[in-house]
Structure 1
Amino acid sequence: MKASRLLHLLLLLQTRQRITTVELADRLEVSRRTVLRDVEALSTAGVPVYAERGRNGGIVLLPGARLNASHLEPPEMEAPSVAGLDAAQLDRLGLSAVWESAARKIAARQAAAPESPGILGLADLVLVDSTGWFADSEAAVDVSDLASTLRHRRRLRIQYRRSAENQASSRVVDPYGIVAKSGRWYLVADDQGDGRLFALERLTAYEPLAAPAALRPDETLRTRWATLKENTEKRGRVSVTVRLPENGLDLARRILGNRIHDVSDVETGWCTVIVRYPDIESVRQLLQFGDHIEILTPDAARERIRQLATVLAEKHATQAV
C-alpha cells in the first residue's frame, strides 16, 4: 500500500513539480503528517524531493527529475480502449481506479516530454462527454459483473422485459459485448440467430451457461453494433414537421439531438423543423416544449399530441373543493 502511495505521490509531483501538503493529503487520502513522512522516505532513498516551508511552500520535486512512467500495468492497458466513457460509466465498469492510475502515468509521461513547449495538448482543448442531455438511465444489473462474465464467451440466459411488456421473459442469447450509447447501456447479442440490442435497464437478471457463445464468423462487437445501429436508425422512420420559435432552436437541438433532420423557413421569429422518429408514439417527447411548438404534419402526429394533451389537461384540471 505504501509503495503504491509513494508512486502516486511521485506521479503527481512530476506533473506539477510543486504541490501543497494539504492538496497531496487530500489526493492521497492520508494525513498531512503521513505526506511529510512519505517525502522524507523518498528523500532518504535519493529522490530529489523536499518540503519547502512558508506561505508559498509545499512539496517540491527538483526540475529534471523524471520517473519512467511509460509502462502501464496489464489492467491499465485496457483503460485507453474505454476512453470515451464518462466517470459514472467507468465506475459502473469498476474501472475508475485503473483509469485514474493510467491517466496519471500518461500525464506524467507527457509532462516529461512535451511535443511542443508552449502549445496546448488536445486533452486541454477537447473534452468527450458521452452522456445524453438530461439523461438519467440506470442499468438494472451490475455492468462490471456483466462485463466480467462476457469475457468467458459463454451463452447467457437472460430475463428481459420488452418495452411493450409488463413482465420479463426468459431467453437464451449469444452475446458479443456491451455498448454505452448516449448515456444508456446495451447488450449486443444474437437471439436465435437474429441480432438484437437489449437495454440494460430492462435486463433484470442473467446466467452464464456452459455452452460457448455461437457467434457469427468474422463478426465482432464493433461490426455487429454498426449493423444493428444502422438498422435501428432506419427502421420505421417517421418524419414529423413542427413549427418552433427561432429562439427555441438551440434548446430543441439539445433535447432532440440527431433526431433533427432539417431546419428551414427561418423568418419572423419562427422556423420549421423536421424531426425523425421510429414511430408515431415517440412524438410524446415533443410535449417537453409545451405551447412553444406546433406539429404541422403528419395528421397522425397532430392527433396523437392532441390526445396526450387532452389527457394531461384532464389530469391537471382544477379540483372542486
Structure 2
Amino acid sequence: MRADRLVSILLMLQTRGRVTARELADALEVSVRTIYRDVEALGAAGVPLYGEPGHDGGYRLLDGFRTRLNGLTETEAESLFLTGLPGPAAELGLGAIVTAAQLKLMSALPDELRDRAERVNERFHLDAPGWYRDPDPTPHLAAVADAVWNDRSVRVRYLRWEHPREVMRDVDPLGLVLKGGHWYMVGRTGDRVRTYRVSRLQDLEVTGARFDRPPGFDLAGYWDDTIAGFDERRLRTSAHLRLSADLLDHLHEYLDASAVRAARESACPVEDGWVEVTVPVESPDRAVLDLLRLGTDAEVLGPPELRARMAEIVTALAARYSDGPAK
C-alpha cells in the first residue's frame, strides 16, 4: 500500500540520513519513478525534505525533524520474534541481551500485538546447525564478535588445510557469518579480504589497535561472491550418470544443491524409467565418495577415469566382504 511505503520512506530518511532514489527503490521494491512521485507527495504533505544533486546526492530530511510514525503492524511484530536465534546469540555472548530486548519489546506492544508475538514464540523455533553433527567448538567466538563490533585488530594462530598447517596472521575482522551451523570470520589481512572458520582459530589476541573499515564494504555481498567462487573452484569437472527415476526425486538427500539442480535441468529419460544426467563434481577421489552413496540406483557412465575409479573401489569392497568377517 502507498501509505505504508510513504511511512517507510520517511523512516529510512530519518534513520539513514541521506538516501538516494535508487536505494529507496531497491529497498521498497518499486521503480525509481515511483519514488519520485512518493517524495513529491511527502513534500506536498508538509514533510521538510530536500534533494541534493550530483553523484553523491540524495534525499535528506531538514535537520532536527523527527517523526513518531514508528508503530509496528501485526506482521512486523510477528516477524521480529522470528529473527531472534537464541542459540547463535548465546554463542556470541548476547543471549541475556537478546532476552532482555525481547521482554522490553513485548511489554511495549499493544495487547493484540503481544498476543500475536507470543503465538509466534509458541509455534516456531529456529535451529541453525545441520543434522548429524556436533556444533563446532568456538572458544574464541565472543572475542571475535567483540573485535568485529569495536573495529579492533586481532592476531590469530590459524589451522588451515594446506601446508604449512599453522599460520600467524594479523587480521582486521570485518564481520561474522553463520553458515550451516558454522561460524566464519571475514577479515582483512594486508590488502586482501579472507574468510576464516572460527573453530580453526587456535589462539586469538586482541591487539587493541583500531582499524578503519574499507569504504563501502558489503558483508552480505562479499559472502555471496565467496560462495559462488567456492563452488566454481570446487566443482571443476562433471560426471555423466544414469539414475533411476525414484533416485532423481530423492537426489537432494544425497548430493548438494548445485548437483541436484544440474541433474534436474539435464535429465534425459532413457529406457525402463531411468534417466541420464550430468552433474558437477570435485576430483575423482572426492566424487567417488559422494557417488557411492547413491547405491545401485546409479551408474557412472563417464568420464572414463571416474568410472574406472568407481569400478576399482566397488571391486575392492566386494573382495573385502566376499569371504566373511576378518579374523
Judge same fold: TM > 0.5, yes or no: yes
Q: Residue 246 of structure 2 aligns with which residue?
A: 247
Residues 210 and 92 of structure 1: is their aligned pair in 2 closer, same or farther, counting only changes over 3 Å? closer
Aligned pair 1:265/2:265, yes or no?
no
Structure 2 CA distance for aligned equivalents of residues 203 and 217 of structure 1: 27
Structure 2 CA distance for aligned equivalents of residues 99 and 320 of structure 1: 56
* Structure 1 counterpart of 2:93, one-letter code: G
> What secondary structure sits across from 2:145 in the alignment?
helix
Q: Return the offset for 1:180.
A: 0.7
Residues 149 and 175 of structure 1: is their aligned pair in 2 closer, same or farther, counting only changes over 3 Å? closer
Q: Residue 61 of structure 1 aligns with which residue?
A: none
Query: Which string of whole-angstrom CA distances, capped at 9 and with x for unpartnered residues, describes residues 37-57 of structure 1?
Result: xxxxxxxxxxxxxxxxxxxxx
Structure 2 CA distance for aligned equivalents of residues 138 and 230 of structure 1: 24
Q: Return the offset for 1:219.
A: 0.8
Aligned pair 1:91/2:60, yes or no?
no
Instruction: Give the 5 Å matches for 1:268-283.
Output: 268-277=272-281, 279-283=283-287
Structure 2 CA distance for aligned equivalents of residues 201 and 314 of structure 1: 39
Unaligned regions of 5+ residues in structure 2, if any? 1-69, 72-79
Instruction: Give the 5 Å matches for 1:109-120.
Output: 112-114=111-113
Structure 1 range deviating more: 259-268 or 202-211: 259-268
Structure 1 CA distance for aligned equivalents of residues 84 and 310 of structure 2: 36
Residues 133 and 142 of structure 1: is their aligned pair in 2 closer, same or farther, counting only changes over 3 Å? same
Q: Residue 298 of structure 2 aligns with which residue?
A: 293
Q: How high is the sequence identity, in percent, across the aligned residues?
A: 24
Structure 1 CA distance for aligned equivalents of residues 227 and 296 of structure 2: 33
Structure 1 CA distance for aligned equivalents of residues 133 and 277 of structure 2: 23
TM-score, structure 2 normalization: 0.58
Query: Which string of whole-angstrom CA distances, capped at 9 and with x for unpartnered residues, describes residues 59-93 of structure 1?
Result: xxxxxxxxxxx99xxxxxxxx699374x5433322
1 or 2, which has the higher helix percentage? Answer: 2
Residues 316 and 222 of structure 1: is their aligned pair in 2 closer, same or farther, counting only changes over 3 Å? same
Q: Residue 207 of structure 1 aligns with which residue?
A: 205
Structure 1 CA distance for aligned equivalents of residues 170 and 196 of structure 2: 12
> How many residues get paired?
241
Instruction: Give the 5 Å matches for 1:119-158.
Output: 129-158=127-156
* Structure 1 counterpart of 2:148, one-letter code: L
Q: Residue 19 of structure 1 aligns with which residue?
A: none
Residues 227 and 105 of structure 1: is their aligned pair in 2 closer, same or farther, counting only changes over 3 Å? same
* Counterpart contact for 1:140–1:204, Cα < 8 Å: no
* Structure 2 counterpart of 1:142, one-letter code: H
Residues 183 and 108 of structure 1: is their aligned pair in 2 closer, same or farther, counting only changes over 3 Å? same
Query: Which string of whole-angstrom CA distances, capped at 9 and with x for unpartnered residues, describes residues 209-251 of structure 1?
Result: 2433364322142333233233223335333333333333454
> What secondary structure sits across from 1:159 in the alignment?
strand
Residues 316 and 265 of structure 1: is their aligned pair in 2 closer, same or farther, counting only changes over 3 Å? same
Query: Which string of whole-angstrom CA distances, capped at 9 and with x for unpartnered residues, describes residues 238-284 of structure 1?
Result: 33333333333454213424222332235644344443345545422
* Structure 2 counterpart of 1:245, one-letter code: S
Aligned pair 1:190/2:194, yes or no?
no
* Counterpart contact for 1:196–1:228, Cα < 8 Å: no
Structure 1 CA distance for aligned equivalents of residues 286 and 212 of structure 2: 34
Query: Which string of whole-angstrom CA distances, capped at 9 and with x for unpartnered residues, describes residues 136-179 of structure 1?
Result: 44144332232123222122222222223483221222221110
Query: What RMSD in Å do the two structures reach over aligned CA positions?
Result: 4.0
Residues 99 and 212 of structure 1: is their aligned pair in 2 closer, same or farther, counting only changes over 3 Å? closer
Q: Return the offset for 1:126.
A: 7.3
Residues 180 and 255 of structure 1: is their aligned pair in 2 closer, same or farther, counting only changes over 3 Å? farther
* Structure 1 counterpart of 2:232, one-letter code: K
Q: Return the offset for 1:133.
A: 4.5
> What secondary structure sits across from 1:233 in the alignment?
helix
Aligned pair 1:217/2:215, yes or no?
yes
